[in-house]
Structure 1
Amino acid sequence: MSGTGRRLSERQRRAWLRLIRTENVGPATFRDLINRFGSAEAALAALPELARKGGARRIGIPPEDEIEAELEAAGRLGARFVAIGEAEYPPLLARVDHPPPLIAVKGRPELLRAPAVAIVGARNASLSGIKLARRLATQLGQQGFLIVSGLARGIDAAAHRGGLETGTAAVMAGGLDRPYPPENDALFAEIGERGAVLTEMPFGWTPRARDFPRRNRIVAGVAYGLVVVEAADRSGSLISARLANEMGRLVFAVPGSPLDPRAAGTNRLIKDGAILTTDAGDVAEAIAPLLGRPPPERQMEEPPDDLAAPAPSDDDRSRVLEALGPTPVHIDEILQHTGLHPAQLSLILLELELAGRLERHSGGSVSLLLDDSG
């Protein structure tokens, strides 16, 4: 499915939402299931047996009325679910590893097609940092960039305010009906009217600490570049910068006084190769060569692949379990050790993941989650 405007039917959208809301199904597992079974409905029908073969007694598939309630909640808020491949889905986000298959969007989803720049930084920002972030956002917006941030206090809020006139998008760590922090409720409402607010999390979801890195991944993923205005060492903004760098995005950092701990992170980013930034021109000039040359787009809902391989046997499953442990091991090493066909191993790992027994790591490694209940 490409970003040419193909649209899911409402039946497909419900099935996609039900599949991504299923226990142990994240974006990577969702993609594997769609590619293996050809549709979300077929994947949902296969889940109980897959989880059973992976060692689980059952798998939590949300009932139809729960999905209907979430769709109704979106409707009441004036939001809707946009699927990867549809016209309003952010084009660069579609090309990261394991993009969210559905995002809930309130406001003007058409803004998400514009080339984006993310601006992030300290929550306890200095007055000069707030002023600079707002000015950068205003100037970049005037040059045609969508301003993206995470609606946090400080630098994030300043960036959103600077981009309100030209276009800004806020990425949430919780559901669209659970904006955070409360002090930015008015800004959230204004962005929801004049810009766009989006999240991959369910309605009713109150953000937890572990949800903010997921939000930061989307902030980095939708943008050509990420600008860090102020950031202490070991801050969330540095996590965003690392994620952006891993995705091949440009990372920009505003230098600051060595005496200010809020500049320690940005100064270190510059030492590590980030682009030193003092005005919007630095950002626009570096991004200009990238515009109009996106990499090939990833596909979703492709025909099943490699199904000519024989179905894995219980003995095959035992050999894979024997090869796995709590230490991550690369999938290629498991293939070499077991002699299985890649499609056989893929299915066994999918079964284990759906049973809640497998953890995936970056770089194609996996490990076994040991049961410590006994």
Structure 2
Amino acid sequence: MSISEEHLSAWLTLCFCPRVGGKVMSRLLSVDSAENILQYNDDQLQALGLSSSQISYLKQTTNKQVETCLTWQEKSSEHTILPLTDPRYPKLLSEISAPPPVLFVKGDALCLSEPQVAIVGSRNASLEGLDCAKEFARSIVQHNYVVTSGLALGVDGYAHHGAIEAKGKTIAVLGSGLEKIYPAKHRALAQRVSENGALVSEFRPDAPPRADNFPRRNRIISGLSTGVLVVEAAERSGSLITARYANEQGREVFALPGSIQNPTAQGSNGLIKSGATLVSSPDDIFNEIGALTECALSHQPSLFEQEVITEQLPFPEVFATVGGEATPVDIIAERCQMPVHEIMMQLLELELQGFIAAVPGGYIKKRRG
């Protein structure tokens, strides 16, 4: 199921509209599709709560930002733009409270849906911490997980290197556009990551790195992953932000203990005191996340499992688009590429049979049996 250029262009136009964040985007799409909203007149757009400057932006005959993105995608077969409505958009990430409306990917976009373990930590980690990051990454990919991190100096870089050296896959989530690699020192590493997994960003390809981008980047690192391993982290660090997001998203948080005299270990030690799982070997991670991974993969059934589900469910395609967090009707319609009124009928049938439940903001799957 491919996404048309018309749909992608309309989606990007709404995404890039000034002061249109995830909540406003969801509200707009609960009214109509992106393509239809762009055809609204000024009065209709104003009735949706949009300002005059936002309306002017949407009414541009030529949107250079959107054209730049579409040109970037056409530039290489390795370049992919994934709107939230694309069936290739990673299911696990789509279920967090604020999923990025669009992902820009360089490399293998499909590996974003494979089971992942994130490794994050200090940019100024000790030599012991760096060695641990690399060795844990090696073991993780040897157990058929993808290693996900943020391409930063220190722990992140060593985790990516460890995964690649063990001939596994790794994903780097950036706080800048994919054409503006940060830090510049990791440009060569970024290229190797794209060849052995994927580079990912929610920011358009030419977006420069900004300090406030990186906390947003961290929610994607945890959102893609089944579990997050914190190797070393100071008391105030981005790694702790990633761990907080992981907790909020229902992911497992792991931490390596460090010396009480090591300032870069105070944050990770604090995580353990707060309930994170203490790990001393990779086996400690695999023992915990086995069941969680099976649960995550249940959202993306195999061909055999799809056949079984088809016999049990009245509308398996619609059911597959509903997750553990509220999914709006318009998003379900976009993913299935069906009219809203038909989707509503099918959702009602699934609800009556107890497979899903209507909640504020959309529908969620119900645990049966």
TM-score normalised by structure 2 residue count: 0.77
User: Which residue number in structure 2 is paired with residue 66 of structure 1?
Assistant: 65
Residue in 2 that maps onto 1:263: 265
| Structure 1 residue 266 displacement after superposition | 0.5
Letter in 1 for 2:112: L
1:173-192 equivalences under 5 Å are 173-192=175-194
Cα separation, 1, equivalents of 2:275 and 2:36: 47
Q: Distance in 1 between matches of 2:125 and 2:284?
A: 22
Q: Quote the RMSD (CA, aligned, Å).
A: 2.2
Equivalences for residues 225-244 of structure 1 within 5 A? 225-244=227-246
CA deviation profile, 1:198-221 (whole Å, cap 9, x unmatched): 111012111111100110010010
Greater mean alpha carbon deviation, residues 296-305 or residues 213-222: 296-305
Amino acid across the alignment from 2:39: A
CA change 1:83–1:257 in 2 (3 A) is same
Q: Could you tell which deviates more after superposition, 12-21 or 80-89?
A: 80-89
CA distance in 2, matches of 1:230, 1:177: 29
Identity %: 38
2:156 paired residue number: 156
1:91-140 deviations in Å (ceiling 9; x for gaps): 21011112112201001112112111110000011111111001111101
Moved more, 68-77 or 194-203: 68-77
**Which residue of 19, 25, 32 corresponds with 2:14?**
19
For residue 331 of structure 1, what is the aligned residue in structure 2? none
Give CA-to-partner distance per residue, 1:236-291, whole Å, 9 cap, x none: 11011011101111110100000000110000000000000111111111111112
- 2:39 pairs with 37, 41, 45, which one? 45
Q: How far does residue 21 in structure 1 lie from its aligned partner after superposition?
A: 1.1
Q: CA shift at 1:65, angstroms?
A: 4.2
CA distance in 2, matches of 1:133, 1:65: 41
Residue identity in the other structure for 1:145: Y
Return the alpha-carbon distance in structure 1 between the equivalents of residues 66 and 50 of structure 2.
27
Q: How does 1:135-146 map to 2 (within 5 A)?
A: 135-146=135-146
Amino acid at match of 2:74: G
Equivalences for residues 1-374 of structure 1 within 5 A: 6-37=1-32, 39-46=33-40, 48-49=42-43, 52-53=46-47, 54=49, 56-59=51-54, 60-61=57-58, 63-76=62-75, 78-164=78-164, 165-294=167-296, 296-297=322-323, 298=327, 300-302=331-333
Compare 84-93 and 113-122 and name the one that shifted more: 84-93
Query: Cα gap change, 1:50/1:276 in structure 2, threshold over 3 Å: closer, same or farther?
Result: farther
Shift of 1:193: 1.7
Deviations 1:153-195 (A, max 9, x none): 0000011111122100000111110110011111011111221
CA distance in 1, matches of 2:179, 2:204: 9
Provide the secondary structure at the position in 1 that maps to 2:217.
helix
Gaps of 5+ in 2: 300-321, 334-338, 342-359, 362-369
- Structure 1 residues 79 and 9: CA distance shift in structure 2, 3 A: same
Contact 2:92/2:113 (<8 A) preserved? no
Moved more, 94-103 or 82-91: 82-91
Q: For 1:247, give the aligned amino acid.
A: Q
Flag the 1:266–1:48 CA change in 2: closer, same or farther, 3 A: farther
The Cα shift of 1:55 comes to: 7.5
Q: Would you say how many aligned residue pairs link Structure 1 and Structure 2?
A: 302
CA contact (8 A) 1:106 1:198 kept: yes
Match in the other structure for 1:327: none
SS in 1 for 2:199: strand
Structure-1 separation of matches of 2:202 and 2:281: 32
**Secondary structure of the structure 1 residue equivalent to 2:31:** helix
Q: Residues of 2 paired with 1:166 and 1:85: CA distance? A: 29
- Do the aligned partners of 2:230 and 2:254 also contact (CA within 8 Å) in 1? yes
The more displaced of 268-277 and 80-89 is 80-89
By how many angstroms is 1:304 displaced? 5.9
Contact 1:35 1:301 in 2 (8 A): no
Change (3 A) 1:209 1:48: farther
On the 8 A contact 2:168/2:196 being kept in 1, the answer is: no
Moved more, 289-298 or 121-130: 289-298
Q: Using CA pairs below 8 Å that are at least 6 residues apart, which structure has the higher relative contact order? A: 1
| Other structure's SS at 2:53 match | coil
Structure 1: 5+ residue stretches without partners? 1-5, 306-342, 347-374
Shift of 1:46: 3.7
Mapped partners of 1:94, 1:237: distance in 2: 22
Displacement of 1:40 in angstroms is 0.7
User: Equivalents in 2 of 1:84, 1:66: separation in Å?
Assistant: 19
Query: 2:20 aligns to what SS in structure 1?
Result: coil
Instruction: Tell me if the contact between 1:134 and 1:159 (Cα under 8 Å) persists in the aligned partners.
Output: yes
